[in-house]
Every structure is written in structure tokens, then in C-alpha cells.
């Protein structure tokens, strides 16, 4: 797939969504990111990335995947266990293989998080091969 082919498939405005119910396993106390019994920031980050992946996964060429390379996130409000959290990622820029997303996360009451996230499209097999080779050197 060429850059021009990709630009027709991956255009600003694409949206992806991800949703979860906050369980005890997703709390700050369980994930080690604090001691509070509330939705953990690392769990919110994973949900946000899942929404970004959902926005583009059906628009990549066979054998391609995207990997996160940067995330600027703000966790604005606490969410208790039992609540549903939804993340929506909107593709805002495409620069060659680099994809930039604006992401919001909401619980049933309010906006709980915002992020700017950058992903890069890579050849999945080559990317994993390189990562595994690094592990063999250690």
C-alpha cells in the first residue's frame, strides 16, 4: 500500500470506540498506580489506546498494524467500580505512517480523561521479529 492509497483509507475524522466496566482489577489499588479504589489511570490509558486501534484497524493493509509511540494524557475525574467507561478516539492527522488521535473518556456522569495519542503504522511481522531479536541478545 502506498502513502496515497493509505491517505484515501485513513483520513481525519475516523472514529473508534472502546468500553469497559470498572472492576476491582482495574482500580488503582489493584494495578499499583495508587491505593484508591477507583478506576486506574493505566487502565484508562489502555482503553484509550484500544479506541485508537479500533478507529483504524479495518483500514490498514494486510500485515500492517499500528504501535503507540506517544501519549499525552490527563485523568480528570475519579470513577468507582461498577461504572461503565467509554473512550472515543478521533483521527485528527495523518502524516505518512504517523497517525494522531484526540481521545476522550467518559463515565456515565462526566468527562474523566483526555489524550493526544500518536501511533505509527508498521509491518507487524518485521516489528515483532525485531523486538524478539532484541530479547534474544539479553
* Angstrom distance (rounded) from CA 82 to CA 111: 17
Give the count of domains, the chain. Answer: 1
Residue 4 — very low, low, confident or very high, per pLDDT cuts 50/70/90?
very low
**Which CATH number covers residue 41?**
3.10.129.10
pLDDT reported for residue 17? 98
Q: Which residue has the cell 478516539?
A: 89
What pLDDT, on the 0 to 100 scale, is given for residue 8? 59
- What's the CA angle centered on 114, arms 112 and 116, to 5 degrees? 165
| Owning domain of residue 9 | 3-137
- Burial tier of 99 (Cβ tally within 10 Å: 0-12, 13-18, 19+): buried
Q: What is the mean pLDDT of the chain?
A: 93
pLDDT digits (tens, 9 = 90+) for 69-78: 999 999 999 9
For 56-70, give the DSSP string: HGGGSPTTEEEEEEE
Amino acid at each position: 500500500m502506498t502513502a496515497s492509497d493509505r491517505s484515501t483509507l485513513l483520513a481525519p475524522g475516523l472514529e473508534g470506540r472502546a468500553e469497559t466496566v470498572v472492576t476491582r482489577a482495574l482500580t488503582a489499588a489493584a494495578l499499583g498506580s495508587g491505593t484508591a479504589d477507583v478506576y486506574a489511570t493505566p487502565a484508562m490509558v489502555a482503553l484509550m489506546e484500544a479506541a485508537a486501534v479500533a478507529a483504524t484497524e479495518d483500514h490498514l493493509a494486510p500485515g500492517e498494524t499500528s504501535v503507540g509511540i506517544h501519549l499525552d494524557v490527563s485523568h480528570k475525574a475519579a470513577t468507582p467500580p461498577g461504572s461503565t467507561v467509554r473512550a472515543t478516539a478521533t483521527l485528527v492527522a495523518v502524516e505518512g505512517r504517523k497517525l494522531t488521535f484526540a481521545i476522550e473518556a467518559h463515565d456515565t456522569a462526566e468527562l474523566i480523561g483526555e489524550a493526544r495519542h500518536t501511533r505509527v503504522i508498521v509491518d507487524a511481522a518485521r516489528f515483532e521479529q525485531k523486538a524478539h531479536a532484541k530479547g534474544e541478545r539479553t
